[in-house]
Amino acid sequence: MKTIKRILFICSIPFLLSACITEEYGLLNASTEDIQEMLDKNQTGFVLIKDEEGSQLLRNAEKAFLEKEQPAMQFDVFRNDASNENEDGLSNNPFRHSMPNVNTVYYINKGNVVEEYDLELSLDNQQETLEEFIEIAGDSHEQ
């Protein structure tokens, strides 16, 4: 009986360790504060500014980021706190000077916007071309 318990314990260790190091990929809801922190702390990564819910554009973007095992902060101009509608019900993009377009993926390198990909411009093979953008943008700015 003691041997069986040891075997079960040893077999469960990899599972427990994998749960501790799980990284999230795909589109992650972000608030104004989350995006501002990324910019202020000179972080690097992808930001998607969006103004719609559940569209094919967003489903393709989600698939592309999952396929490339990359996270992207998803900022909704109608839900600036990442969960509730803006009180006035209007669109508000506080990042309109550096990231002016909606339904666009921006690549941020050390707190600065350096690349962008407009989801609405390439509807044919969108997932594939976005995957290429994710790969190229990340590779071209690594040091």
What letter does residue 79 receive in the DSSP assignment?
B
Q: Which domains does the chain carry?
A: 24-140 (3.40.30.10)
Angle between helices 126-140 and 56-67 (to 10 degrees): 50
Residue indicated by tokens 């999230």: 24
| pLDDT at 3 (0 to 100) | 62
Closest CA to 62 of 10, 31, 26, 113: 26
Helix (H) or strand (E) holding 74: strand 71-76
Closest CA to 104 of 61, 56, 141: 61
Q: Could you read off the pLDDT of 21-35 as tens digits, one per residue? A: 457 999 999 999 999
The structure's pTM equals 0.82
Q: Could you read off the pLDDT of 41-75 as tens digits, one per residue? A: 999 999 999 999 889 999 999 999 999 999 999 99
